[in-house]
Amino acid sequence: MMNEMRNAMTRRALLRGAGSGLGAIAMSAMLAESGFAGVVHDPTIAKKPHHEPKAKRVIFLFMEGAPSHIDLFDPKPKLNEMAGQPMPASFGRPITAMGTANNTLMGSPRQWKQHGKSGIWVSELYPHIAKHVDKLAVLRSCQSDGLNHAGGVSQMNTGDILSGRPSLGAWVTYGLGTANKDLPTFVSMIDEREPFGNAKNWGSGFLPAVYQGTLFRQGPNPILNTKLREGMTDERQRAQMQLLEAQNREYALRHEDDSTLQARIRSFELAYALQKSGPEAVDLSKETEETKELYGLNDPATAVYGRNCLLGRRLLERGVRFVELYCGSGSGWDAHSNLEGNHKKWCKASDKPVAALLEDLERRGMLEDTLVIWGGEFGRTPFNEKGDGRDHNPWGFTMWFAGGGVKGGQTIGATDDIGLRAIERHAHVTDIHASILWLLGLDHLRLTYMHNGRAERPTGVKGEHMVKELWQG
């Protein structure tokens, strides 16, 4: 009798649990269709944007270590005239990372030319990108708050110099969901080392952990743990996955606030799906020899970043929404000395691959709805460090944008005559983030998440000055 009662209780509990699960699934679908999917933390649910988007996806070409804007996209003839002199007091006196504000001014040895119909200036260090200037909106008045790399890289990724906030890719995943359930929505790729801040740069911060990015590494297997180990069959693995999923979900019912468990469940599901979709997505052998040559895969100087750019394009066309490609990860562009050798190396590494990406996206009909972003965490100062290097400059630097609704062939904003400070159309990192989100159909004021009793948004209390010139021209 007791056994029968116990069995009946077990059956009732099972039916009740199953009913609750089915109800939750139905509720998730209803909320998604009603535009309230943000309360259901499932990145596999595609969500409606706030307004008609101009871009469907983003690829951020992150030049970590900070390229020198006054040696690449922002020529300063006045700086060359004043080379070797102390900086006049009229330009102000910044606090520099390495105490170089009292050093003499250092000119740029670059050869400059105007390119394209737009006549945008580019130095000889970027000859391939120069061919595409009519696609670019060059923003010369960027500003950030980070004086060192840790703060600068953190802010360019999360909007704050202090770590702990969600990355921009995580906000995009939270706001829009996925376009392919078998691939990550947000991917970061490195070249040499992990960047300053490591996983915090693609982390979810206070958002549920399911929105964090996935790191792709160098080598033939950029995605870890996607191959069956020896002796494991697909059937056995699926059975193990089902058992583990049941245990995880039982635990989750008793720990509703543990978002890391939900992320772990999702990561197992994604890893299983990636065993089928991942190898095909990262297999470059099917690309034509012309395409490989275009990206520079046959040249050791360009092969690493060329491979990442080509892989990034493949991920975008398969539904990944946000791809970040680090060039010089671990602060490779950080030219406190020997700027000439440093920038020649990294410009060589990135020039042909980036130009190839622009050309490839355009000929595939993807550029018009893919937002391409180029830039670092800040720029570099006009005065010398150690005689042949430049210090960090968060007061005025350059980024450029292409595709995804951007009006190409224009320069926006300006720095002063020596390239130290932005003086026209100031664009803080948070303004830039708000603009990126807007192009994706997301209003940064409406994209909120309740955290510690406060409706947090991607730009904090800033971002009120979107760079509308990017799409209005």
- Give the pLDDT of the chain (473 residues) as one tens digit per residue: 444 444 444 444 443 443 333 333 344 444 443 444 444 567 668 899 999 999 999 999 999 999 999 999 999 999 999 999 999 999 998 899 999 999 999 999 999 999 999 999 999 999 999 999 999 999 999 999 999 999 999 999 999 999 999 999 999 999 999 888 888 999 999 997 889 889 999 999 999 888 999 998 776 666 655 555 666 676 776 777 677 777 777 776 776 666 666 666 666 666 555 556 567 788 899 899 999 999 999 999 999 999 999 999 999 999 999 999 999 999 999 999 999 999 999 999 999 999 999 999 999 999 999 999 999 999 999 999 999 999 999 999 999 999 999 999 999 999 999 999 999 999 999 999 999 999 999 999 999 999 999 999 999 999 999 999 999 97
Q: Which two tokens stand for residue 338?
A: 């020997």
Q: Could you identify the residue written with the tokens 């947090």?
A: 456
Specify which residues 373 forms β-bridges with: 60, 401
**pLDDT for 282:** 83
**pLDDT for 454:** 94
Helix (H) or strand (E) holding 315: helix 303-317
pTM given for the model: 0.85
**pLDDT for 437:** 98
Domain range summary for the chain, segments of one domain joined by +: 46-223+282-472
The C-alpha atoms of residue 7 and residue 226 are separated, in whole angstroms, by 40
The C-alpha atoms of residue 106 and residue 70 are separated, in whole angstroms, by 11
CA distances from 136 to 34, 65, 393, 421 (A): 37, 22, 23, 22
Q: Which two tokens stand for residue 166?
A: 């969600």
Provide the CATH topology of domain 46-223+282-472. Alkaline Phosphatase, subunit A (3.40.720)
How many other C-beta atoms lie within 10 A of the C-beta of residue 450?
Answer: 10
**pLDDT for 267:** 62
The C-alpha atoms of residue 175 and residue 186 are separated, in whole angstroms, by 12
3-class secondary structure, 166: coil
Q: Could you identify the residue written with the tokens 């010398």?
A: 384
What are 73-85's pLDDT values in tens digits? 999 999 999 999 9
Nearest alpha-carbon partner for 141 in 421, 406, 382: 421
Q: Which two tokens stand for residue 49?
A: 């944007």
Q: Are 92 and 101 in contact (CB under 8 A)?
A: no
What are 244-271's pLDDT values in tens digits? 777 777 776 776 666 666 666 666 666 5
Q: Which two tokens stand for residue 371?
A: 């937002």
The C-alpha atoms of residue 42 and residue 180 are separated, in whole angstroms, by 13
**pLDDT for 247:** 76
What residue type is assigned to position 43 of the chain?
A: P
